[in-house]
Structure 1
Amino acid sequence: MNLFGHPFGISPGIVPLFALVLTIGAYLIGQSIQKCVNKAIANPVLIAVLIIGITLRVCHMTYDSYFSGAQFIHFLLGPATVALAIPLARSLDHMRRGFLPMVAALFSGSIIGLASGYGVVRILGGSQVIALSMVPHSLTTPIAIGVSQNIGGIPSLSAVLAIAGGILVAIGVDAILGWMNIEDPAVRGLAAGVAGSGVGASRVIPQHPVSAAFAGVAIGLNGFITAVLAPVFIGLLKYFVHR
């Protein structure tokens, strides 16, 4: 039944409120499930995406209608990212001691991220535009959209890939770093922030203040480095391939 088109359905005037409550409620349900099962696979963002997607499908609600209410939460992504400066300020001494290794890791992670994203798609037979959309997959969503627009990708697809990549990192980061016997909170935060941006970093941020600080640096600088290097990488690629 189309609840949003039916004369006895939900009034268009309260659709934004419904979308806002749905978004917050879906995430809270995801958090509750994760606490109950205590498994990384029960990622709150993944669960919330599934709940919201199913609800929109059942209610025949368009994404534009949903976003009219959810855009307030979307706006809060900016302040939430900026808030990572708080643990950053508290860990400045720690960062100064490891400044050069941190910068080297950031550049390495950014280059490998954009090159592997493009290369894997092309090796598997994907089209050029899909490969370009995959380049910013490890960035926070707003930056991924901007980078995708700049290099000729599909911004909406890049946003989906960035969120999906972040969820995968959040699910697997503890297992992978544990398998590698990496316990240093700085390394864990940097790895999660570079590979999975905000969604991936959300897994390690509550574990230690230093992890939160390094994750915040990784999210911001990885976005900046990739935004600068991606057009250069694509330009060099076109030059050597088509020369």
Structure 2
Amino acid sequence: MKEVVCNNALFGIVLCAAAWQAGVWVNEKLRTPLAHPLLVGIVLAVSFLAAFGIPLDWFRQGGQIISLLLAPATAALGLSVWRQRAVLQKNFWPVVLGCAAGSAVNALAVNGMCRLLALDAALTKSLLPRSVTTPIAVALSEQGGGLPSVTTLCVLFTGILGTVAAPFLVRLFRLEKEPVAAGVAIGTSSHVIGTTAAMGLGEVQGAMSSVSIGVAGLLTVALALVW
């Protein structure tokens, strides 16, 4: 009976949708960044699969369909960029240089950490693209001899961490009156998932974060070739 119900694409889609809605409800009740809907949804979905002994391959049939929506969802971020094109034109070089600084710091931090912990080259290549969007990160990991599964996990963790920490860090560094700087910082460090937090702060922050996803991705590709 369990296989009949769960071993199909519909099960994965329904579980993703239900876990997300539960995450939204928990977030609205607790009113804290720590209860981000994505984080809560992941915990609930994993707990459900583990509690009922449902194989991950069954879930992936529907989960992979949900994953196909990532590309169009990322492309849709271009709408906010278009609305803020005047701001982007005015701050073009600060945005580019901010993304360059963020990408360089990420690469140096990852390489420094891996050398300090004596990790092998495969793990270094897996961790290097952790702050860029998943399609770019996985492609870089595969081409460099990394582990795509590790890269995907690191990208997800980085995005969730950025989403949770972004509002606090913006207040800590007093960036409320610097929406361009806040958006660039969030987009460069925590890609698409973090951009959802930037959009919650304002349309300018969301637009600059969206631009930073692409710019930081291109710069990370260039840095990956060096390392």
- State the TM-score, normalizing by the size of structure 1: 0.88
Give the whole-Å Cα distance in 2 for the aligned partners of 1:173 and 1:206.
Answer: 10
Q: Which residue of 2 aligns with 1:136?
A: 129
Q: What are the superposed Cα offsets for residues 52-84 of structure 1, whole Å, 9 maximum, x if unpaired? A: 111222232232221111222111110110001
Is there any run of 5+ residues in structure 2 with no aligned partner, and where? none
The alpha-carbon distance between structure 1 residues 13 and 32, as it changes in their structure 2 partners (threshold 3 A), is: closer
**AA paired with 2:41?**
A
Residue 174 of structure 2 aligns to a residue whose secondary structure is coil
Report the number of matched residues.
226
Say if 2:36 is the partner of 1:22: no
Q: Is this contact kept in 2: 1:122–1:128, CA < 8 A?
A: no
How far residue 145 of structure 1 moved from its aligned partner, in angstroms, is 0.5
Give the whole-Å Cα distance in 1 for the aligned partners of 2:115 and 2:36.
Answer: 30
Say if 2:109 is the partner of 1:116: yes
How far residue 9 of structure 1 moved from its aligned partner, in angstroms, is 2.1
Q: Which residue of 2 aligns with 1:100?
A: 93
Residue 184 of structure 2 aligns to a residue whose secondary structure is helix
Say if 2:184 is the partner of 1:218: no
Give the whole-Å Cα distance in 2 for the aligned partners of 1:117 and 1:159.
Answer: 16
**AA paired with 1:61?**
I
The sequence identity of aligned pairs, in percent, is: 27
Q: Which residue of 1 aligns with 2:191?
A: 197
Give the whole-Å Cα distance in 1 for the aligned partners of 2:70 and 2:81.
Answer: 17
Q: What are the superposed Cα offsets for residues 136-167 of structure 1, whole Å, 9 maximum, x if unpaired? A: 11011121111111112111100000000111
**AA paired with 2:206?**
A
Q: Is this contact kept in 2: 1:115–1:135, CA < 8 A?
A: no
Give the whole-Å Cα distance in 2 for the aligned partners of 1:207 and 1:177.
Answer: 9
Q: Which moved more, 1:8-17 or 1:214-223?
A: 8-17
How far residue 12 of structure 1 moved from its aligned partner, in angstroms, is 5.9
Q: Is this contact kept in 1: 2:7–2:59, CA < 8 A?
A: no
Is there any run of 5+ residues in structure 1 with no aligned partner, and where? 1-7, 235-243
Q: Which residue of 2 aligns with 1:127?
A: 120
